[in-house]
C-alpha cells in the first residue's frame, strides 16, 4: 500500500475483540503512534450522536456511499492492518470533524 497519512480514508482489516476473525471496514486515519494508527470508524449509517459527523464530500473522498465518521468509535491498529487507501478527507469535512472533536471530546474524569 502507498504511504498513509492522517486524513486518509482507508479500508482496514479490523480484528474482532474475541480474536476469532476480522472484517474489512472503512476508517479515517486520525494520527500515528509509532507503528500503530489511531482511526475512527466510518459507517453508512446516519448520525446517532453529536460526535457522529456526516461527510458532505464522501464521493470525492473515495467512498461508495454517503458516510458518517464516528469520532466516539476509535481503534488503535497496527499499520499492517490498513489494507488499501480509498482517498483523503476534504478540507471542509476535516474542518467540521476538528470542530466536533474540540467541542465534544475530552476525558470525562
CATH code assigned at 25? 2.30.30.110
Give the integer Cα–Cα distance in Å for 30 and 8.
8
Q: Is residue 109 part of a domain?
A: no
Q: Is residue 74 part of a domain?
A: yes
Q: Is residue 21 part of a domain?
A: yes
- Confirm if 39 and 29 have CB atoms less than 8 A apart: yes
pLDDT score at 106: 86
pLDDT score at 105: 93
* Count of domains observed in the chain: 1
Centroid of chain to Cα 94: 11
Q: Is residue 1 part of a domain?
A: no
Q: Is residue 3 part of a domain?
A: no
Element (H, E) at 103: helix 91-104
* pLDDT tens digits along 78-109: 999 999 999 999 999 999 999 999 999 988 88
Structural domain that includes position 47: 8-104
Whole-model pTM: value is 0.94
Give the integer Cα–Cα distance in Å for 77 and 109.
25
pLDDT score at 1: 63
* pLDDT tens digits along 37-79: 999 999 999 999 999 999 999 999 999 999 999 999 999 999 9
Amino acid at each position: 500500500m502507498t504511504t498513509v497519512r492522517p486524513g486518509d480514508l482507508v479500508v482496514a482489516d479490523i480484528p474482532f475483540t474475541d480474536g476469532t476473525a476480522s472484517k474489512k471496514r472503512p476508517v479515517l486515519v486520525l494520527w500515528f503512534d509509532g507503528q500503530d494508527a489511531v482511526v475512527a470508524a466510518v459507517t453508512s449509517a446516519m448520525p446517532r450522536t453529536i460526535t457522529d459527523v456526516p461527510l458532505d464530500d464522501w464521493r470525492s473522498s473515495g467512498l461508495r456511499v454517503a458516510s458518517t465518521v464516528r469520532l466516539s468509535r476509535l481503534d488503535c491498529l497496527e499499520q499492517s492492518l490498513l489494507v488499501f487507501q480509498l482517498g483523503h478527507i476534504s478540507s471542509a469535512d476535516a474542518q467540521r470533524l476538528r470542530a466536533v472533536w474540540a467541542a465534544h471530546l475530552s476525558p470525562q474524569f
